[in-house]
């Protein structure tokens, strides 16, 4: 890929499965073409996200950092926010700003869209980050509930829409497939 064609903002949002998965596919494609790829995980602390096992082996082609306290403890999901959750989200924004200055070609901000709905960040935090985006950085924002003002800044928006999902029949998230 010619780096002169980079610089778009892509959003993967919606209630369907596949937003992170799609962005990871894009990361692999971009790294395969020699682009410098970064992934920042918002509110995805913990060691139960299995894609990180392979991402560790793909360094330096794909770099990543995960922020957030673990949400799964003792087989239960914690929905409430602790002050440390908010601090972690702000640290993730700071890391994104740092990486924007480090000549990444493609930067994925996984689950950043959701942070507004879950009150970890303000919409303005995301809009200000977008304003700081270098001209030739391809920026990918994932997560449900993408705010309209953020979508207005995008060049591409893909909405994942659930048609049928085995979770509706009671199947819980499966290791290696959903996480």
Distance, CA of 20 to CA of 41 (rounded, Å): 10
Please say if the pLDDT value at position 1 is more than 60. no
pLDDT at 75: 73
Grade residue 2 by pLDDT with cuts at 50, 70 and 90.
Answer: low
User: Phi first, then psi: what are they for 20, rounded to 5°?
Assistant: -65, -40
CA-atom Rg of the chain in angstroms: 16
Looking at the predicted structure, is the pLDDT value of residue 125 above 90? Answer: yes
Q: Could you give the percent of the chain with pLDDT greater than 90?
A: 74
Domain count, the chain: 1
Say which residues have a Cβ less than 8 Å from residue 24's Cβ, sequence separation at least 6.
39, 51, 108
Segment (H or E) for 86: helix 83-100
Instruction: Return the SS3 of 117.
Output: helix
Whether 178 is in a domain gets the answer: no
**What percent of the chain shows pLDDT beyond 70?**
98
Whether residue 171 is contained in a domain is answered as no
Count of beta carbons in the 10 Å neighbourhood of residue 31: 18
Q: What is the pLDDT of residues 128-151, one digit of tens each?
A: 999 999 999 999 999 999 999 999
Above 70 in pLDDT, residue 179? yes
CATH number at residue 19: 3.40.50.300
Mean pLDDT score of the chain: 93
Assess whether pLDDT exceeds 90 at residue 3: no
Residue 172 domain-assigned? Answer: no
Distance CA 137, CA 104 (A): 7
Q: pLDDT (tens digit, 9 = 90+) per residue, 68-90? A: 998 877 778 888 898 999 999 99
Q: What is the reported pTM? A: 0.91
> Would you say the C-alpha torsion 172, 12, 104, 3 has a positive or negative sign?
positive
Domain interval for residue 125: 11-71+78-160
The confidence score (pLDDT) of residue 177 equals: 75
22 domain-assigned: yes
d(CA 55, CA 107): 14
Q: What is the pLDDT of residues 31-63, one digit of tens each?
A: 999 999 999 999 988 787 788 899 999 999 999
């Amino acid at each position: 890929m010619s780096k002169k064609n980079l610089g778009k903002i892509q959003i993967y949002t919606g209630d369907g499965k596949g937003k992170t998965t799609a962005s990871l596919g894009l990361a692999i494609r971009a790294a395969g073409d020699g682009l410098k790829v970064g992934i920042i995980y918002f509110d995805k602390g913990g060691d139960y996200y299995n894609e990180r096992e392979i991402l560790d082996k793909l360094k330096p082609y794909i770099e990543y950092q995960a922020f957030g306290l673990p949400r799964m403890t003792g087989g239960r999901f914690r929905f409430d926010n602790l002050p440390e959750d908010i601090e972690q989200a702000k640290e993730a924004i700071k890391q994104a700003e740092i990486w924007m200055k480090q000549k990444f070609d493609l930067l994925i901000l996984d689950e950043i869209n959701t942070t507004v709905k879950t009150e970890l960040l303000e919409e303005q935090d995301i809009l200000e980050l977008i304003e700081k985006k270098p001209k030739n950085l391809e920026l990918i924002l994932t997560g449900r509930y993408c705010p309209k003002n953020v979508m207005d800044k995008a060049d591409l928006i893909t909405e994942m829409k659930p048609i049928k999902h085995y979770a509706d029949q009671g199947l819980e998230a499966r290791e290696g497939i959903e996480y």
